[in-house]
């Protein structure tokens, strides 16, 4: 079983907290670090900008529109959440 780096970090911080502080305080530190990582990880998303290509009237990624000299282009922004939605059920 392969663990991600964030899981390894949470485990290491919890272990060091238990060894250096005390069992109760170490577990509190581990829970706090885990909650912080979950909140920070859920804040990031990816933005893509699609532009209307006038030759075909289709929306393509803005990187691929090179020689389109029209001043007015219709753009669409797509926000993609990187994490999976998890249900509690």
Which residues are bridge partners to 60 per DSSP? 51
pLDDT band at 33 (very low <50, low <70, confident <90, very high): very high
Predicted TM-score (pTM) of the model is 0.54
Closest CA to 13 of 72, 64, 86, 31: 31
Q: Are 53 and 67 in contact, with CB atoms under 8 Å apart?
A: no
The string of pLDDT tens digits covering residues 53-66 is 766 777 777 666 56
In this prediction, residues 72-78 reach a mean pLDDT of: 72
In this prediction, residues 36-44 reach a mean pLDDT of: 80
Model pLDDT, residue 4 = 78
Model pLDDT, residue 3 = 59
Separation CA 60–CA 51 (nearest Å): 6
Q: Residue 51 above 80 pLDDT?
A: no
SS3 assignment, position 60: strand
């Amino acid at each position: 079983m392969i663990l991600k780096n964030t899981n390894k970090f949470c485990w290491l911080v919890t272990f060091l907290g238990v060894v250096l502080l005390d069992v109760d305080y170490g577990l509190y530190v581990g829970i706090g670090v885990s909650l912080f990582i979950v909140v920070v990880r859920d804040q990031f998303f990816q933005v893509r900008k699609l532009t209307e290509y006038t030759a075909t009237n289709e929306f393509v990624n803005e990187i691929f529109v090179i020689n389109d000299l029209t001043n007015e282009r219709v753009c669409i922004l797509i926000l993609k959440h990187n994490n999976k939605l998890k249900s509690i059920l």
